[in-house]
Structure 1
Amino acid sequence: MKHDIQPLHAASANDLPYTFKQLDTAMEAAGLDALVATSKHNVRYLLGGYQFLFFSAMDAIGQSRYLPAFVYLRGEGDKTAYFANKMEAQEHQVAPFWVPEFRPDHWGSVDVMQAAADYLQKCGVASGRIGFESAFMPKDGYDALATALPQATIVDASMVLTRLRMIKSKPELDLLREATARISQSMQATILAAGEGSSKHEIIEQLRQEETKRGMAFEYCLLTLGDSHNRAGSDQTWNKGEVLSIDSGGNLHGYIGDICRMGVLGEPDSELVDLLAEVEAVQQAAFAKIAPGKTGAEMIAAGEAELRRGPNAAHNDFFAHGMGLISHEAPFLMTNHPVAYEGSDADMPFQPGLVLSVETTMHHPNRGFIKLEDTVIVTEDGYELFGADNRDWIVRSVD
């Protein structure tokens, strides 16, 4: 199978999905003099698409862990530094990093942070306000940074980076569009390859293979069969007339596609047709409120109003969140529903390039778990629905 979409790779600062001016403005608003990013997703973003393959699926090595560090000084892009693993020197030989200071001299979290601290001292910000990612900094690394910079004020800057990533560039949107399309194709192929007696374990493994052969990194599959609402893998099997919900995230060069589609073994009866139509009506009501200048609060109100009009309102749930390099990134639209964060962006006007995941779930007491989840971007004049195919019942004929 041909895979013609390429990963992002910034050969220079001009190729980044953000600008230094945007980063400087965000840091100034947060009162930051310097930034030390250490999460793999933010380092990837700040570097312009690069992630070291050796540690793409793990962090631990020897008695420590891989901890890449991207160091940026506000207003001084020419001093940007990347502190990397020793093996990344070979990556630089193949495709040189754009950062002015590339330091591939490290193996663990402590030596990386000591080197980053030495560099900040050299650049004259040893007593400034330094931002870091509190959820992605191991204690020994933080202790090394704080000990080496006793006069610095070290503060969490996670939201600075989250906000920076919120509006996607065209290359990022292209990757998200393609990721969603490949997941949709993988889901259809998986449902049609399954049949009566197929177990959840077997169906999940089939999806993993389908996503992998389409160039995706398989992330997860949440699957239900029949009248069960349990989405964990098991030996439960698919039987004639039963529904199948398949919810999966697949990673394409760092960007996550996340949708849910519905299958049925044999032609759906009239009740199933009506139930999925009820879910779809909620989705469409929400889509109608996605456009520049509209807000998440307006979209949510429209979706929930349509949900309440349905005959199964007591069993239905509506949710929306941001998507990109991670699941549930900004904008944050709903509070503690179901992930524990504040819906702080509900009243923020939508802007072109914003990516949303919109999902409606029916927990029907007799027919099971019926759900549609879609990836939607805000465009200049409205919205674009990614992976718009296969949103009706995907019918697996009975042999």
Structure 2
Amino acid sequence: MRCGIPFSTARLDRLLDDAGIDVLIVTSKHNIQYLLGGYYHFQFDYMEAIGISRYLPVLVYVKGALEKSAYIANRNERDSVRNRTSDGHWMPAVVFGSSTTVEAMALAVKHLKSVATSASRIGIEGSFLPADAADVLRKDFGHGRFVEAMRPLERLRAVKTAAELEVLREASERVVASMIDTVDQIRPGQSKREIIDHLRRAELSRDMIFEYGLVTLGTSLNRAPSEQRLAPGDVISLDSGGNYRGYIGDLCRMAVHGAPDGELLDLLGEIDLVQQAARVPIRAGLAGSGIYAAANEALAQSTHGKQMHFVAHGMGIVSHEAPRLTSSGPVPYPADDANEPLEAGMVISIETTLPHARGFIKLEDTTAVTADGYEAFGDSARGWNRISG
């Protein structure tokens, strides 16, 4: 990795070679953030600030020629870019002047024509490229061959640096701490909306951005916010994604009002056995499908295995990213990495769910692949956490 560059240009160039790409046109928020080392213009963090078009940052990357790369910035980004570079962070050449998707792509095309040849194969992110911007690109660079770039970019992000792993560790620990804080504060009679608000405030107090809270109460399996209220003796699942410095902490922990009875202890114990079994084989070099093989063996031996749902997926800047290990999970996508070896630095979320007559019972854990095993992040509070009052 070149000094000051937040990603490995050698790894990216190899991935682009494999995909048949000469030049990248990056337009997704998450890949812009990754390639620029965490930068994203604050004015468009939540909503479009203007309303006539969406905010479209564009990064043009030329394989093997980093010096030819350029970042196409909104006309309002000058101060943000100035602050970023004055703090010593790397940025490619910056072209200001866009306010709309069409203007942004027109500027990108102008730069592209100055650095690419007519035979260049252009990598695009089809799902993250607005139709009007795509029209500009195809009209003005129609002789180029367009190639989908989602896979090489997510494979680049899949192996985390030591600094990224530390942020993910912090994100995980802060989410779990926020859940325990929430359990300590909630009482019977409070609604799911109020409980989620507790969780939101707890994550915000830990310097996180609250992204979502999936909460169930009692015997209901409904995880959306509502006015349903916690009753005495209810079980509660807290599943939350909290963003810390651009990376996701995504875990699930269980709580119960009062003391858990023997059945509840057994049910969560069964889930934990599956979770632990799935972890055992994790190490660099293991085919990703090995995680599922271990989990499926544990499910086959579990009393409630046929009712349980198990899934393992990569995570980082995005909650579900490479390595992609299944095509039959709750979010359908190709199992592109199921038969590929895991690499040290990959981060995998492991989750087992049991929709039961006693309620929605689930554990979700975060594991980082190491050379000879794994390391779990935020691995506390995995039993029944007690709600008092």
Aligned Cα RMSD in Å? 1.4
Corresponding position of 2:373? 382
- Could you say if the C-alpha distance between residues 126 and 110 of structure 1 is closer, same or farther in structure 2, counting changes exceeding 3 Å? farther
Corresponding position of 1:41? 30
Query: What is the aligned counterpart of 1:237 among 229, 234, 239?
Result: 229
2:127 partner amino acid: A
Corresponding position of 1:162? 154
The 5 Å alignment of 1:276-355 reads: 276-355=268-347
Query: Larger deviation: 94-103 or 294-303?
Result: 94-103
Corresponding position of 1:360? 352
Please give the per-residue CA displacement for 1:11-43, whole angstroms capped at 9, x wherever unaligned.
Answer: x95234421111111111111110010111001
In percent, how many aligned pairs have the same letter? 45
Residue 101 of structure 1: how far off its partner (Å): 1.5
- Could you say if the C-alpha distance between residues 100 and 241 of structure 1 is closer, same or farther in structure 2, counting changes exceeding 3 Å? closer
Residue 90 of structure 1: how far off its partner (Å): 0.9
Query: What is the aligned counterpart of 1:188 among 166, 180, 186?
Result: 180
State the aligned residue count. Answer: 386
Corresponding position of 1:177? 169
- Could you say if the C-alpha distance between residues 130 and 239 of structure 1 is closer, same or farther in structure 2, counting changes exceeding 3 Å? same
**SS in structure 1 of the partner of residue 238 of structure 2:** strand
Corresponding position of 1:124? 116
Corresponding position of 1:369? 360
Query: What is the aligned counterpart of 1:75 among 58, 64, 67?
Result: 64
Tell whether the 8 Å contact from 1:33 to 1:125 is kept in structure 2 after alignment. Answer: no
- Could you say if the C-alpha distance between residues 124 and 369 of structure 1 is closer, same or farther in structure 2, counting changes exceeding 3 Å? closer
Corresponding position of 1:147? 139
Tell whether the 8 Å contact from 2:6 to 2:36 is kept in structure 1 after alignment. Answer: no
Please give the per-residue CA displacement for 1:328-349, whole angstroms capped at 9, x wherever unaligned.
Answer: 1000101131111111211211
Tell whether the 8 Å contact from 1:318 to 1:360 is kept in structure 2 after alignment. Answer: yes
**SS in structure 2 of the partner of residue 374 of structure 1:** strand
Residue 392 of structure 1: how far off its partner (Å): 0.7
Corresponding position of 2:99? 107
Residue 295 of structure 1: how far off its partner (Å): 2.2
Structure 2 runs not aligned, ≥5 long: none
Corresponding position of 2:219? 227
Tell whether the 8 Å contact from 1:279 to 1:360 is kept in structure 2 after alignment. Answer: yes
Paired with 1:271 and 1:17, the residues of 2 have a C-alpha distance of 50
Paired with 1:394 and 1:16, the residues of 2 have a C-alpha distance of 43
Paired with 1:122 and 1:16, the residues of 2 have a C-alpha distance of 23
**SS in structure 1 of the partner of residue 309 of structure 2:** strand
1:390 partner amino acid: A
Please give the per-residue CA displacement for 1:157-199, whole angstroms capped at 9, x wherever unaligned.
Answer: 1111011111001111111100000000000111111111111
Please give the per-residue CA displacement for 1:66-93, whole angstroms capped at 9, x wherever unaligned.
Answer: 1000101111111110000112111222
1:380 partner amino acid: A
Corresponding position of 1:249? 241
Corresponding position of 1:269? 261
Corresponding position of 1:92? 81
- Could you say if the C-alpha distance between residues 127 and 63 of structure 1 is closer, same or farther in structure 2, counting changes exceeding 3 Å? farther
**SS in structure 2 of the partner of residue 65 of structure 1:** coil
- Could you say if the C-alpha distance between residues 322 and 344 of structure 1 is closer, same or farther in structure 2, counting changes exceeding 3 Å? same
Paired with 2:286 and 2:276, the residues of 1 have a C-alpha distance of 15
Please give the per-residue CA displacement for 1:207-234, whole angstroms capped at 9, x wherever unaligned.
Answer: 1111111111111111101111111111
Corresponding position of 2:21? 32
Query: Larger deviation: 181-190 or 82-91?
Result: 82-91
Query: Larger deviation: 107-116 or 123-132?
Result: 123-132
Corresponding position of 1:53? 42
Paired with 1:324 and 1:270, the residues of 2 have a C-alpha distance of 36
**SS in structure 1 of the partner of residue 203 of structure 2:** helix
**SS in structure 1 of the partner of residue 290 of structure 2:** helix
Tell whether the 8 Å contact from 2:253 to 2:381 is kept in structure 1 after alignment. Answer: yes
Paired with 1:241 and 1:99, the residues of 2 have a C-alpha distance of 55
Query: Larger deviation: 84-93 or 190-199?
Result: 84-93
1:179 partner amino acid: A
